[in-house]
Amino acid sequence: MTRINNAIAAYTAILAHTPRQPDALYMLAALSFKLGQGDFALSFVQTLLHDQPDHIDALALQAMIYRTHYRFDEAAASARRVLALDAQREDIWVLIAKILIQDAQFSDAIAHIEQAIALFPAKGRLRACYALALAATGRPQQGYGQASAAEKINPDDADAVMAVIITLSACGHYDRALARCQAAMANYQQLAKPLAFIAASALLIQGKYAEGYEAMYQANIGRDDVSPVPRWTGAACDQHVVLYSEQGFGDLFQFVRFVPRVAALAGAVTLRVPARVERLLRASMPDVNLSLYHPPTTTVRRAAERGNQPDPMLDFPTDIDARVSLLNLPHLLELGSGTDADLVPYLKVDPELKALWAQKLASIPHPRIGISWVGSPQNGNDSNRSMTFDTLQPLIAAFGQHIVSLQMGLAAQQLAEGIYDTAPLTRDFADTAAAIANLDLVISVDTSLAHLAGAMGVPVWVMLAFDPDWRWLLKRGDSPWYPTARLFRQSQAGQWGDVVDRICDELHKIHIVE
């Protein structure tokens, strides 16, 4: 650190004597970036590029800075400018691949990588990126082949090792992925956090709850250390404890069931939640104090939207003594395989709002079936867990007059004419819950809607990817979390057709629609 500080002082002195000196500007940008001072780095590099728009190293550095700021379009544009100047920069081909993958632009990533591999067939890092993009688009076996090739080219490359582990997991080889994780943790310190999460998921999906929850807890340590509020240890106390969910809405709906356990141990509890769930939680938990914040989303990709601004989730009330993430409660409360499923339904609907939605849905004949086919694009696994509306055509053709769309966001625009659309009438999750309360069945991919229906005790059929999220476990058609849930799993990665066909068959078998 002393050498870096001395270098910064030297280059700063050069700029004091010769303002806008290009080498000094570049080195100060590079050193600032290395120290994690992205704003300073960007300022220096943009000053340099104003004077020398084709400074190739500055363009490359700008791309890397933009990527860390989650400004993916600008990052890709800057990197492509480098390739326009020098198409032989293999490192920039890799950088663009990583940017596209991080931005969940998997089809574009695959096209880019295939072009790059044609130029650099022996470069392992490109094949490691290829592996991730293939796995993310439902081709994990092909992805594993590319990852293995990348590791063969460079056995010690961290990207290759990570690609092997991720594709092993995507292929359903969880024990092998776990073993590779544990071996890699000792050798790749820079991968410690992502490897810890993969290991935790591999344990949990196999029903090894105690080990998995402990691993998840350890993986979470450090993610929110910007808060000065100490962590709650799980012990009985007279403290005021704030609970929060740093993941998605589905995690919130699943783990909010444990709030009463914390309330029984602490002096007072406050639940810090996004404003979109306020009305739902006030109806469900009227005795729990709520503290609201207003992010665009609750997912871990909040960072992409807030940039370098403080995380509003962690802006706790001033009278808080301790904090705890909802996701860490199973470990701290030593629940093991306990899910408190007997508490279902623990999410409830305001009676007046339910009556209002009964009127809105009055024209839909019973049995009413709610559908959702796409999760939040903020989720890094969304390409695997979601489908297109067209995939549901057998269901729509057979039961269309009974269908109610619960889909939100841009995907709702895929809706076929004649299907009742709740999106224009929905303000927040309270409205969604009220609509669900007037349905007989919900059919959904693995998104917050499935958790909401399950937590309400409404029958819900969950359509699951071949490599599902850990909470759905393996090779079972029910859920220990939600007694009213049935699980319909892909038999092959990326293939939803048989899932929809089985659902249609089951609907006919139980005569839900005559």
pLDDT digits (tens, 9 = 90+) for 447-500: 999 999 999 999 999 999 999 999 999 999 999 999 999 999 999 999 999 999
Distance CA 13, CA 27 (A): 12
CA dist 318 → 39, 239, 241 (Å):
29, 13, 11
The DSSP string of 182-214 is: HHHHTT-GGGHHHHHHHHHHHHHHTT-HHHHHH
pLDDT at 308: 56
pLDDT at 3: 87
Q: Within a 10 A sphere around the Cβ of 419, how many other Cβ atoms?
A: 17
503 or 298: whose pLDDT is higher?
A: 503
pLDDT at 222: 64
Q: How many CA atoms lie within 13 A of 143 on its CB side?
A: 27
Q: How many CA atoms lie within 13 A of 32 on its CB side?
A: 22
The burial class, CB within 10 Å (0-12 / 13-18 / 19+), for 226 is exposed
Distance CA 144, CA 154 (A): 15
pLDDT at 377 over 90: no
pLDDT at 47 over 60: yes
Structure tokens that stand for 186 in this block: 């000792």
pLDDT at 53: 97
278 or 189: whose pLDDT is higher?
A: 278
pLDDT at 357 over 70: yes
Model confidence at 344, pLDDT cuts 50, 70, 90, reads very high
Model confidence at 224, pLDDT cuts 50, 70, 90, reads low
pLDDT at 297 over 80: no
pLDDT at 301: 52
Residue 63 is inside which H or E element, if any? helix 56-68
Note the pLDDT tens digit of each residue in 59-80. Answer: 999 999 999 999 999 999 999 9
pLDDT at 1 over 80: no
Mean pLDDT across the stretch 213-238? 86
Model confidence at 306, pLDDT cuts 50, 70, 90, reads low
On average, the pLDDT of the chain sits at 92
Mean pLDDT check: name the lowest of 54-58, 66-70, 379-383, 398-402: 379-383
User: What is the DSSP secondary structure assignment for residue 311, as one 8-state letter?
Assistant: P
pLDDT at 310 over 50: yes
Of 338, 326, 300, which Cα lies nearest the Cα of 241? 326
Model confidence at 300, pLDDT cuts 50, 70, 90, reads very low
Contact of 452 with 426, CB cutoff 8 Å: no
Distance CA 130, CA 71 (A): 22
Which domains, from first to last, does the chain contain?
2-156 (1.25.40.10), 173-221 (no CATH), 240-338 (no CATH), 351-509 (3.40.50.2000)
Note the pLDDT tens digit of each residue in 314-329. Answer: 888 889 999 999 999 9
pLDDT at 223: 66
Of 62, 73, 74, which Cα lies nearest the Cα of 32? 62
Mean pLDDT across the stretch 138-162? 96
Mean pLDDT across the stretch 89-118? 96
pLDDT at 457: 98
pLDDT at 123 over 60: yes
* Inter-helix orientation angle 124-136/158-170, to 10°: 20
Contact of 60 with 27, CB cutoff 8 Å: no
